[in-house]
Amino acid sequence: MNFRTLLFLFILIPIMFFGILLTLLINLFDPSGSSFHRIAAWWGRLSARIFGITIEVTGRENYSTEQNYLVVSNHAGMADIPLLLGAMNLDLRFMAKEELGKIPLLGRALRQAGYVMIKRGQNRAALQSLSAATEVLKSGHSLHIFPEGTRSATGELLPFKRGAFRVAQKGGAPVLPVTIIGSHLITPKKSLKINKGTIRIIIDKPIQPSQFETVEKLMAACSTVITTNFNRYQNN
């Protein structure tokens, strides 16, 4: 734990709490979930400024704010979700682990906003979550999934899993491959410390699922793009 951790606990968490209450109130009049996204994106940008985190985004020209996407990226830090929300100009929902959905008020706000809670493992609940994720895309919203399924402790890429790409094929939305570099140094795994630093977000061109015969080929194409950008930008 360090000074930034204390800032998170005693300043940003209370701000988040009041934001959740505000969102639950707004959702009574605007059930689309977009209000939650705007508040969460603002909170993400505020967090970056308070913690001294610089976000460098490459490839903004590769996506349209008028299009919905399945956004896939590597996952290396707890800060990934709020920083992506703040950095990407999309009305974005996330597929999140079910534990978040069990937190009082937050879980309710996430579900109302269209976030999809997923239970890890190959079981009926997980398949139902993937089906719900498909419906988010079909409804016209963008959705983010971490295809690795968990955070990387070292920042290195982990193998991708098929679920996200099954959602892409069934949902019919383009896949937007995003590479995140440096977030494992901001919020190290199994540590309460929060560090300042620079995170790079590289947004590549959308990939059309219809161009691939199988889920595996789509997954391989997206993995290649993210891996290539990771290797290209991590030391630059």
Residue range of the domain that includes 25: 3-233
DSSP state, residue 41: H
Query: What is the number of domains present in the chain?
Result: 1
d(CA 121, CA 127): 9
Select, from the ranges 31-40, 67-76, 121-130, 148-157, the one with the highest average predicted confidence (pLDDT).
Answer: 67-76
Does pLDDT of 122 surpass 70?
Answer: no
Render the burial of 144-169: b for 16+ CB within 10 Å, e for the rest: bbbbbbebbeebebbebbebbbbbbb
Q: Percentage of the chain with pLDDT > 70? A: 98
Mean pLDDT of the chain: 89
Chain position carrying tokens 């597929």: 95
Strands (E), the chain: 53-58, 70-73, 92-97, 116-118, 142-145, 175-181, 197-203
Give pLDDT tens digits for 56-80: 999 999 999 999 999 999 998 888 9
**pLDDT-derived band at 1, boundaries 50, 70, 90:** low
Does pLDDT of 7 surpass 80?
Answer: no
> What confidence score (pLDDT) does residue 14 get?
86
Does pLDDT of 173 surpass 80?
Answer: yes
Q: Residue 133 maps to which CATH number?
A: 3.40.1130.10
Read off the pLDDT of each residue in 176-189 and give the average, rounded to a whole number: 91
Give pLDDT tens digits for 47-59: 999 999 999 999 9
Read off the pLDDT of each residue in 96-123 and give the average, rounded to a whole number: 82
Read off the pLDDT of each residue in 24-29 and give the average, rounded to a whole number: 84
**pLDDT-derived band at 87, boundaries 50, 70, 90:** very high
- 4 phi/psi in degrees, rounded to 5: -65, -35
Chain position carrying tokens 């493992």: 121
- pTM (whole model) above 0.75: yes
